[in-house]
Structure 1
Amino acid sequence: MTRVTLLAGGVGGAKMAEGLAALPDVTLTVIGNIADDDEFHGLWVSPDIDTLTYSLAGLIDRSQGWGVADEGHRALEVLFRLGQDCWMSLGDRDFGLHIWRTMRRGRGDRPSLIAQDAARALGVGPRIVLPTDDRVQTRVRADAGWLSFQEYFVREKCAPEIRELRFDGIDSARPTPEALAAITGADLLVLAPSNPLVSIAPILGINGITEAFRAAKAPKLAVSPFIAGKVVKGPADRMMAALGMRADALGVAERYAGLIDLLVIDAQDADLRDPITALGMRAECRPILMRDQADKQRLAGELLELAQVTA
């Protein structure tokens, strides 16, 4: 069995996790992003961890890429009638998980244990690991001031021009032993095709995570979230451009230079292979668009093949 550790956030990360989880000879651990977490209606919500959990449990709403399939919103309707601000869409069954998580956190249970118990109860096979049990939250500065990530992403629909990013709490956050063990014990380390700025950076920014990643002897691969200068889903292209970075596969390579051995890019970005290689990593072209489970599993299998060459 090949022990694969995937660092992931968002829909692209969940799709990559599904592909790797489907391979028969892989033991998968996913270190998920927790910097999108926030409180709504008195409940602690973990959007990226829940997307991973629902995806790997086969419960995800495929049409939107998040939330539970065949979901109702009666609880949200009541909250709206009671005068609550309901721009964050939370389904009825989704509320059940948030209530349970908040109850557990209120008792003082470790967030890592809560996430593992939720995954187990919903039938998830791979391990879902948190990078830290401490609170780390993404903040976005626009012209009107600072916003939480969910305010920017959901309420404002990514419309404001980004001027600055920060991760509140990251300087004092401690890595979980599970995350460090998953990195040091891996046979293959993969950075998912997730937003490098707000999905991967908050994981690598936890004290000790990047150091452990660099020191690990396993091959280190990343999959670009860009195809021909556009992201499949999410605001990574607009965010990177607004912050003065290249918004393409080469921009991703620049972010990960010195950290990975190989970047998997789409065939439409073949012209970027040489400048990516000049940064000190290999670049390999593969079809990276994951439209269905067959695409996810094919790409995951190709990552394992590339890892053997890299090793």
Structure 2
Amino acid sequence: MTAPRVVVLAGGVGGSKFTLGVREALARRGAPEATVVANTGDDLWLSGVRLQPDVDSLVYALAGVNDTQRGWGRSGDTERVNAELQAWGAGWPWFTLGDLDLGTHLARTGWLREGQTPTQVIERMSQRWPLGVHLLPMTDAEVDTQVELRDGSSIHFQEWWTRHRAALEPAAFHNPGIRDARPAPGVVEAIAAADVVLIAPSNPVVSIGPILAVPGIRDALRSAPGSVVGVSPIIGGRVVRGMADVCLAAIGVETSAAAVGAHYGARTGDGILDAWLLAEEDAGSADEVAEHSIRPVVTPLWMTDAVASGAIVDAALAAAFDAAGW
């Protein structure tokens, strides 16, 4: 197999683990660094600073400074400033900001207020920690996610996710302003130049969904000369992490690997996929995936470490080469 040019769409902890595997797999091949397009739909302003949870999860994981026990934030972090904020009645008592993590948010906010774009801020962050990938936000626009509840009210995604643990039944998810947003500089160009585009096993609704909703990105995927391969975030009919099943139910999609593949759809129709990786536990639904004109690939999908994640990427790259007839 040649050394492919790869683009990854990713968000959250699942996206971070998968991206570590992408970096490992491409390094073995001597391939160019992948371009990783990060979800920024769950960003927010809190206590006067700009937070980018999915971006930071990717940055911390790639830099090797992430808290692997909690699954978010910096390893070895403390919470003195957060306690002081709570004493002042500032911020959200159920949304913890670590001291080291807050340093990132303060730096980001300062640069944004100086006029830099999120793209430029991430580039600056990458100078401190060589990440081994080219990380881009999906857009430089602010398109934070609002959760519309069944009673007609709306709350920020982070309040619904972190405070209520998705226990409040959602009616819909919205990204105000996204119709006027544009892909961040370099995103569409990277997709157009890629041999392979990989859809990480991130939440299809609130991590990958906002990326695809940025005008121009879905069209770029559909017209991409390379193959588009997705990795199922569902194993054995269950979500691997988080509350993606609640999100899927809100948009009328069954919590199954085949249903999520069908949700993304085939490029031969009006979707974005050429191939779809299924876990061994879901091998019985391969024919169902094929019925949607998507090539099913059955392979182990548990991302226990970077080596296991790299093996998943190997399978995805092989599927991409087969789909392209290379």
Tell me the TM-score normalised to structure 1 length.
0.97
Q: In the alignment, what sits opposite 1:2? A: 4
Q: Structure 1 residue runs of 4+, over 3 Å off? A: none
Please list every run of 5 or more consecutive structure 2 residues that lacks an aligned counterpart in the other structure: 266-270
Please list every run of 5 or more consecutive structure 1 residues that lacks an aligned counterpart in the other structure: none
Q: In the alignment, what sits opposite 1:271? A: 284
CA distance in 2, matches of 1:271, 1:261: 19
Deviations 1:43-85 (A, max 9, x none): 0000000000001111111112211111100110111112223
3-state SS, counterpart of residue 183 of structure 1: helix
CA distance in 1, matches of 2:257, 2:75: 32
3-state SS, counterpart of residue 220 of structure 1: strand
Task: Please tell me the residue identity of whatever aligns with 2:249.
Answer: A
Q: In the alignment, what sits opposite 1:89? A: 96
Deviations 1:97-138 (A, max 9, x none): 100100011111111010111122122121101121111111
CA contact (8 A) 1:254 1:279 kept: yes
3-state SS, counterpart of residue 163 of structure 1: strand
Q: 2:263 aligns with which of 219, 235, 255?
A: 255
Task: Please tell me the residue identity of whatever aligns with 1:265.
Answer: L
3-state SS, counterpart of residue 125 of structure 2: helix
CA contact (8 A) 2:183 2:216 kept: yes
Q: In the alignment, what sits opposite 2:178? A: 170
Q: What value does the CA root-mean-square deviation take over the aligned residues?
A: 1.2
CA contact (8 A) 1:188 1:218 kept: yes
1:71 and 2:77 aligned: yes
- 1:163: how far off? 1.1
1:287 and 2:300 aligned: yes
Larger mean CA deviation between 55-64 and 78-87 belongs to: 78-87
Q: In the alignment, what sits opposite 1:136? A: 143
CA distance in 2, matches of 1:180, 1:241: 30
Task: Please tell me the residue identity of whatever aligns with 1:307.
Answer: A
Alignment of 1:78-157 (within 5 A): 78-84=84-90, 85-144=92-151, 145-157=153-165
CA distance in 2, matches of 1:243, 1:209: 21
Task: Please tell me the residue identity of whatever aligns with 2:252.
Answer: G
Q: In the alignment, what sits opposite 1:35? A: 41
Q: In the alignment, what sits opposite 1:304? A: 317
CA distance in 2, matches of 1:245, 1:176: 29
1:187 and 2:200 aligned: no
CA contact (8 A) 2:119 2:185 kept: no
Q: In the alignment, what sits opposite 2:20? A: 18
Task: Please tell me the residue identity of whatever aligns with 1:256.
Answer: Y
- 1:245: how far off? 1.5
Alignment of 1:196-215 (within 5 A): 196-215=204-223
CA contact (8 A) 2:146 2:175 kept: yes
- 1:259: how far off? 1.0
Task: Please tell me the residue identity of whatever aligns with 2:13.
Answer: V
Q: In the alignment, what sits opposite 2:268? A: none
CA contact (8 A) 2:206 2:247 kept: no
CA contact (8 A) 1:237 1:248 kept: no
Task: Please tell me the residue identity of whatever aligns with 1:184.
Answer: A
3-state SS, counterpart of residue 182 of structure 2: coil
Identity of aligned residues (%): 35
CA distance in 1, matches of 2:232, 2:12: 14
